[in-house]
Amino acid sequence: MKIRLFKPHLGTEELNAVKEVFDNSWIGLGPKVSEFENNWKKYVNCKEAIALNSATAALHLALAVFKFPEGKKVLVPSMTFSATASAVLYNRLEPVFIDSDPETLGMCMDDLEKKYDANCVAVMPVHYTGHPVPMDRLVPWARQKNLKIIEDCAHTTGSFYKDKRLGLWGDIGCYSFEEKKLMTTGDGGMICSNDIDLLKDVRAMRWVGIDKDNWKSANEYTNANHDALHWFYELRTLGYKYNMNDLAATIGIVQLKKLDKMNSIRSELISQYMNGLKNNKFVELLVPFTPKEYAYQMFGIRVNNKNETIIKLKNKGIATGCHYTPLSVQPLFLKWGRNCPYIEKEIDRCITLPLHLGLSKNDVEYIVEELNLIKN
């Protein structure tokens, strides 16, 4: 038996949608991207949404739109993927790493207060595993200090916190559609906001500085009644090659229709894990999972003998992971690191377990049984 850690959930509906794009011979930035963006706006209930080729690109552009002076500081969690803090460096800003809350492993509010200073311009909360940062506390704290708020929602797509969509609590929300996420476009991301003016340059920034839908004007290239300037464009902002393409977008359109159902199945699997492990005194849950309320991209545990547990599970064909090595101990970030003592130590107890829609109830039962045999 080999049980994967993550696996995308794709089928004939996605395959047929991709074939349709092939048949239409427009596979780049085209009508399917616009359709996906419109569907996303309706689903999330936001005023603007722009599809990109990754959440990393979304985080980069989310900071870029504010045009912060070089060298200013951005508050980011240590316990996150490198993209969150890399986006800070892309914008010639400095990361300030925040330690984890011992219970949720999200941003510690006390450490935020401690490390804030007048050079800080933004805060980037990450809803780690899908468990929400207490945005009802963070938002007023940040507003009082005139900080911009960029929500990293890579682990949570479709969740509400206190009746408000995660991703809409701050100024900008960034989502991931990478293959391991709650829904996928293969690779991809979305940047959204209720402030349309804030994202007014992002369509140009995602496509080398050109804000022009070529697919809309393609017919004009051979339209005898059109003037000779159908090709014309102007560059008014620095751009990147960050656009989503129609192949990815058409997968996203199908996946978005299934998202709530897929999240529901994940919640059932997490509940089964929790029920099976509830009497195991050697295992703690990674975060206070609340699967009836929130959508989680990952499930995990904390144990005292991490390496031994990983090896024993590996020998039983069960894949595991560790998300993540805290950024404050990564060589790239040491200049700003070694300052989050709780998570830098606690990570030695954290293990990610399989969670995906290819996981059967029998698979979860098997994993739980093997964990319950391990005495740490």
Start-end of H helices in 278-319: 306-315
Same domain, 232 and 293: no
Q: Which of 198, 232, 257 is the last residue of a domain?
A: 257
User: For residue 222, what pLDDT is reported?
Assistant: 67
**Would you say residue 157 lies in a domain?**
yes
Same domain, 106 and 241: yes
Same domain, 350 and 247: no
Q: Name the β-bridge partners of 318.
A: 3
Report the C-alpha gap between 298 and 5 in whole angstroms: 9
Burial of 140 (0-12, 13-18, 19+ CB in 10 A): exposed
Same domain, 95 and 206: yes
Work out whether the CA dihedral 155, 296, 107, 300 comes out positive or negative: negative
**Could you give the strand order of the β-sheet that contains 350-353, starting from the edge strand earlier in sequence?**
284-285, 299-302, 350-353
Total count of domains within the chain: 2
User: For residue 21, what pLDDT is reported?
Assistant: 96
Report the C-alpha gap between 318 and 296 in whole angstroms: 20
Give me the domain span that covers residue 79.
Answer: 12-257
Same domain, 272 and 348: yes
Same domain, 93 and 192: yes
Tens digit of pLDDT at every position of the chain (376 positions): 899 999 999 999 999 999 999 998 889 999 999 999 999 999 999 999 999 999 999 999 999 999 999 999 999 999 999 999 999 999 999 999 999 999 999 999 999 999 999 999 999 999 999 999 999 999 999 999 999 999 999 999 999 999 999 999 999 999 999 999 999 999 999 999 999 999 999 999 999 999 877 666 666 666 666 677 777 788 999 999 999 999 999 999 999 999 999 999 999 999 999 999 999 999 999 999 999 999 999 999 999 999 999 999 999 999 999 999 999 999 999 999 999 999 999 999 999 999 999 999 999 999 999 999 998 6
Same domain, 232 and 270: no
User: For residue 231, what pLDDT is reported?
Assistant: 76
Instruction: Return the CATH number at 286.
Output: 3.90.1150.10
User: For residue 325, what pLDDT is reported?
Assistant: 98
- Tell me the Ramachandran region of residue 317: left when phi exceeds 0, alpha when psi lies from -120 to 50, beta otherwise: left
Residue 163 dihedral angles phi and psi, to the nearest 5°: 70, 15
User: For residue 224, what pLDDT is reported?
Assistant: 65
Same domain, 220 and 331: no
Same domain, 125 and 97: yes
Instruction: Return the CATH number at 156.
Output: 3.40.640.10
User: For residue 213, what pLDDT is reported?
Assistant: 72
Burial of 167 (0-12, 13-18, 19+ CB in 10 A): buried
Contacts of 216 (CB under 8 A, 6+ apart): none
- In the block, tokens 């290819």 appear at 358
Same domain, 86 and 188: yes
Contacts of 264 (CB under 8 A, 6+ apart): none
